[in-house]
A = this chain, B = another copy of it.
Amino acid sequence: MTSTPVARPDEVRRYNRASLLRRLHLGGPSTRAELAGELGLNRSTIKALVDGLAGSGVVVERVPRPGRQAGRPSLLVLPQPEAAVVLAVDIQVEHVALALVGLGGEILGRNSWNLHRRTRTPTEVLTRITESTALLAADLGVRPAGCGVSVPGVVRRLDGHVHEAPNLRWSDVPLGERLAAVLDTRVVVGNDAELGALAEYLRGTAQGSGDVVFVSADIGVGGGVIAEGASLRGTTGYVGELGHMVVNPRGRDCYCGSRGCWETEVGEAAFCRALGLPEGSSRGAVRVELRELDATPELARSRLAELAEWLTLGLVNVVNLLGPELVVLGDLFTDLPDAVLDDVAGAVRQRSMVSRALGGVRVERSSLARDAKLLGAAEVAFEEIIDTV
């Protein structure tokens, strides 16, 4: 009388297999008993799945290192990195990093190069990605089954169309399509801050926190949001641009057409101004200055006072709007001297009404440092292929 869809046994098996692989990929080596408990499957089902995966070389079972427990140790199930490899690409304004990442999240090999005005065109970047990937894959003897790309701009998730990546001076680049054609694989393109947030949530500082904002400073400032455990996106999959929140209406003109955007007040150029470095100084020079300031808290506070104030104000706004439990700061922000970071975190907790209601939002440095976006790119690629491993 009813027409409820009832899953066929092979569908159920495929679904359970993918769940198991996802769990091993993100959670690491586990015993069969742990897997059975966490996935809510009985032990005979787990045994059949693990045996099948071991038979096709996707996992191995191994005796754990001694000292783990008394008695006869349970075998650990380990994902085999080479069983599924994805290409992760992190396109930044002055730099491209790429890596081949294996099942389980291990970086098997990597390469990177700098971008200059001349080499920053989509065609140049695509050519170099293709060449570099071919070399790396041949070196490692693997073939990527999917690809994830991080881009600092407004990206349509559906097809990887880059609408506008202003700091790269790209607009309307069908990056997903073009890359899929040359690599002959499935390509997912995401906004860099969204992918950074995803990586922090899955593998970094934000593990176990369902409501997180990730804000990072490079040339530009970007932010990604995890809400109730999922990436927050706007309509048609566009991710917001936290860096273009106006924090200082009397501030500097921004290329976006506004003025006093968060990016103009706390991005790399603002760091250079605060540190008395010529604008356009190398990232390395900025980092060296910041690290030196760590030893002289009072000097750090006075030099970075204005930048810290705009960072605080923007964070208060973000926390008041989104109510996260944790804010993770990435890239250049991770090099802020401890004294300044502690002041900012304290001021956000004091001035944000929503933080007070939540009992105090945490503000922490990214633990993935410069790899956050690269690892996020790997994860969106894995999401696409894990069902087919």
Contacts and interface: CB of A to CB of B under 8 A. Distances in A.
A10 to B, nearest CB: 10
Question: How many copies altogether?
Answer: 2
A388 interface: no
B245 A321 contact: yes
A388 B261 CA distance: 50
A324 B249 contact: no
Contacts of A228: 233
A358 interface: yes
Give the interface size bracket for A toward B: 35 or more
A69 interface: no
A328 interface: no
A285 interface: no
Nearest to A313: B246
Given A238-B357, A258-B316, A316-B258, A4 B7 contact: yes
Interface in A98-145: none
Interface stretch (A39-47, A70-78, A286-294): A39-47
A48 B235 contact: no
Interface in A257-274: 257-258
Contacts of A209: 235
A241 B321 contact: yes
A323 B235 contact: yes
Contact of A235 (B211, B250, B352): B211
Nearest to A166: B353
A6 B8 CA distance: 11
Nearest to A228: B233
Given A244-B353, A244-B354, A249-B313, A234 B323 contact: yes
Contacts of A210: 235
Contact of A320 (B9, B241, B325, B353): B241
Interface string A217-247: 0000001000110001111101111101111
Interface in A1-37: 1-4, 6-7, 9, 12-13, 15-16
A228 B157 CA distance: 14
A154 interface: yes
Nearest to A171: B357
Nearest to A16: B2
Contacts of A323: 233-235, 238-240
A258 B351 contact: yes
B246 A247 contact: yes
A111 to B, nearest CB: 31
Given A154-B357, A234-B358, A358-B238, A245 B320 contact: yes
B164 A353 contact: yes
Nearest to A44: B1
| 8 tightest Cβ-Cβ pairs between the two chains A and B | A234-B323, A211-B235, A235-B325, A154-B357, A240-B321, A256-B353, A163-B357, A4-B12
Interface of A: 1-4, 6-7, 9, 12-13, 15-16, 40-42, 44-45, 48, 154, 163-164, 166, 209-211, 223, 227-228, 232-236, 238-242, 244-250, 256-258, 313, 316-318, 320-325, 350-354, 356-358
9 contacts: A3-B45, A163-B357, A227-B233, A234-B325, A235-B325, A240-B321, A240-B354, A245-B317, A257-B351
